[in-house]
A and B are shown apart, each in its own frame.
Chain A
Amino acid sequence: MGITFYLIAAITLAGALAAMTLKHLVHAALAVTVAFAGLALFFLNLDAQFAGFAQILIYIGAVAILVVFAILLTRGSDLPKDGVFSHTWFVGFAIAAGIFAVLGWAVLASAKALPSESAVPAVTVHDIGVVLMGRYVLPLEIVALLLTAATIGAVIVALHEKERAR
């Protein structure tokens, strides 16, 4: 854990905090994008090129754009009158803290259970491709089928809306 880890952690946390506290929805969406970029940098810091670039391509290139589009197409980018904090914020905080505690416990426990590896195995993109097309081809196909079904479903929902409008 060098200085880069703490720098990236600071950027990611700052992005996440800003996304939570900023009043303007579009600003919050842009702050979430900073947090996404921070996560991608974490992957790159761990030498996981494929995961890092996929994170940038999917989260910054697609998810962030989707969020921004959704904000613009639905309620506009007006400022809310009565604050951005929900009245039941402590419930959400308790649930988040609980999940964080469980995850932290699981990670710390697994670190003891696993044998400590001296060298990190070098995984190239080529290896990932071979494994995806060989051993894990069935899960890949199932995910592909699921996504195709979701796309067709989205098209059908959109079509229905259009007919009703007439």
Chain B
Amino acid sequence: MVEKADQVFVLLQHWLISFLPAVLQPAAAVLLGVIAIVCVFPGLFALTTIFERKGLGRIQNRLGPNRVGPFGLFQPVADGIKALIKEDIVPTSANPAVHFLAPVILVVAVFMGFAVLPMGRNMVLVDMDAGLLFFFAMGASTELSVFMAGWSSRNKYSLLGAMRAVAQMISYEIILLLSSVAVVMTAGSLSLPKIVAAQNQYSYGLPHWYIFTPWGLAAFVMYAIAATAETNRSPFDLPEGESELVAGYHTEYSGFKFALFFLGEYLAMFSISGLGTTLFLGGWTAPLSVLAWIPSWIWFFGKVMISIFVFIWMRGTLPRLRQDQLMNFAWKFVLPFTLLDLLVTAFWRFMGEGWLRWVVSTAILAGAYVFMGRVGMYKEHFGSRTYRYAE
């Protein structure tokens, strides 16, 4: 029974393709997986928009959408219909072919990333030997589509937004890659199912997730920062700074093309949360060995949704950074710290089992964190913190 619940989608797939002749079965299995991904994640996107607007409303002490359906739950449906029937405006001086292709390429590239994510036991579309590399290759392709959108609109705000977005995504992509390298060094594989399998062990009922090691925690924090910047989420949402750039690179998009950009942003959030879950939070494995009877896909999607909640929480809490702060933070703090973390991971790998490696790696990382923080803050002369309230 437990086994059946865990494998319900895999069994469903096998049952559905058993009606077809044997020649067509492999192709049909892949097609079914693609259909599932293309249906589930946009559905999740619709749920997340209402969740985000309600959550932000809660954080800002207001109600949020509450008019469409019970508790405003049908708001995404209304939004979708609105986007579909809106007029599609292309500026006269825009470059029509590139303007049309940009959102399409963005959404396609983002969808490709889901192909290698293991979403449950035996639930991965393509078990690639170089899965992690494939994921990052697809992530890199989205940068070009952002540039295409900004450039083809023939609008200075769009172009400035696109340049900001691309500069930011390149800077933080290095950090994203390097923080994942720490995991690859320990697991010894670029295949995501193998990385999950390496974390699927328990001692004293507690899991061997990489976040529960000193280097893993440091790498996870760096990964989370880079992931937030990579998906242009607050506090790194300068490319769409409303007060300066109207809406950034998608200023000149309307109707369903705009909806595609919106979809692309949220899908990128899902896929990057899914990758973070896979690399550091044990993927589809249960957090306690006694909870292993709960189906693996519930754990994966639960962890992804918790990450999404943290994204929304940060958006409601933190103010936007300035461009120079963003770049200084990436190149002068996060990048050196990630490189140091790689060194610590190598120590961890070769010091063997025992408590000594815990002490050494924690000491190095904590010491470096305090030292770099002090050096970075040295010139700033911050006084003691003061609070001012509206009267």
Residue B133, interface by CB 8 Å:
yes
Inter-subunit contact A49/B129 (CB<8 Å): yes
Inter-subunit contact B151/A53 (CB<8 Å): no
Known: A125-B133, A125-B190. A65 touches B151 (CB 8 A): no
Inter-subunit contact B130/A56 (CB<8 Å): no
Inter-subunit contact B190/A26 (CB<8 Å): no
Inter-subunit contact B129/A72 (CB<8 Å): no
Inter-subunit contact B166/A65 (CB<8 Å): yes
Nearest CB of chain B from residue A127's CB, rounded to whole Å: 10
Instruction: State the main secondary structure of chain B at its contact with A.
Output: helix
Inter-subunit contact A56/B137 (CB<8 Å): yes
Contact with A along B113-130 (1 / 0, CB 8 A): 000000000000000111
Inter-subunit contact B144/A60 (CB<8 Å): yes
Known: A61-B141, A65-B143. A53 touches B133 (CB 8 A): yes
Instruction: State the main secondary structure of chain A at its contact with B.
Output: helix
Residue B147, interface by CB 8 Å:
yes
Inter-subunit contact B137/A53 (CB<8 Å): yes
Report Cα–Cα, A49/B189, bound state, in Å.
Answer: 14
Nearest CB of chain A from residue B141's CB, rounded to whole Å: 5
**Which residues of A are found within 8 Å of B173, using beta-carbon distances?**
61
Task: Give the residue of A33, A50, A126 whose beta carbon is less than 8 angstroms from that of B144.
Answer: A33
Residue of B with least CB distance to A57: B137
Q: Interface extent on B, as a size class?
A: 20 to 34
Inter-subunit contact A26/B133 (CB<8 Å): no
Interface residues of A in 32-75 (CB under 8 A from B): 33, 49-50, 53-54, 56-57, 60-62, 64-65, 68-69, 72
Report Cα–Cα, A6/B273, bound state, in Å.
Answer: 38
Report Cα–Cα, A77/B156, bound state, in Å.
Answer: 13
Residue B140, interface by CB 8 Å:
yes
Inter-subunit contact B130/A72 (CB<8 Å): no
Task: Give the residue of B134, B166, B189 whose beta carbon is less than 8 angstroms from that of A69.
Answer: B166
Interface size, chain A (Cβ < 8 Å)? 22
Residue B212, interface by CB 8 Å:
no
Residue B344, interface by CB 8 Å:
no
Residue of A with least CB distance to B142: A61
Report Cα–Cα, A77/B148, bound state, in Å.
Answer: 13
Interface residues of B in 70-129 (CB under 8 A from A): 98, 128-129
Residue A124, interface by CB 8 Å:
yes
Residue B373, interface by CB 8 Å:
no
Report Cα–Cα, A72/B46, bound state, in Å.
Answer: 37
Residue A30, interface by CB 8 Å:
yes
Given A61-B144, A69-B163, 6 new contacts (CB under 8 A): A30-B148, A56-B141, A60-B140, A61-B140, A62-B170, A124-B129
User: Considering the complex of A and B, which 8 residue pairs feature the smallest CB-CB distances, nearest first?
Assistant: A61-B140, A56-B137, A53-B133, A49-B130, A53-B137, A57-B137, A125-B130, A125-B129
30 cross-chain CB contacts under 8 A: A30-B144, A30-B148, A33-B144, A49-B133, A49-B134, A53-B130, A53-B134, A53-B137, A54-B137, A56-B138, A57-B133, A57-B136, A57-B140, A60-B137, A60-B140, A60-B144, A61-B137, A61-B139, A61-B141, A61-B143, A61-B144, A62-B170, A65-B147, A68-B151, A69-B163, A72-B151, A72-B159, A124-B129, A125-B130, A126-B189
Residues in chain B within 8 A of chain A (CB atoms): 98, 128-130, 133-134, 136-141, 143-144, 147-148, 151, 159, 163, 166, 170, 173, 188-190
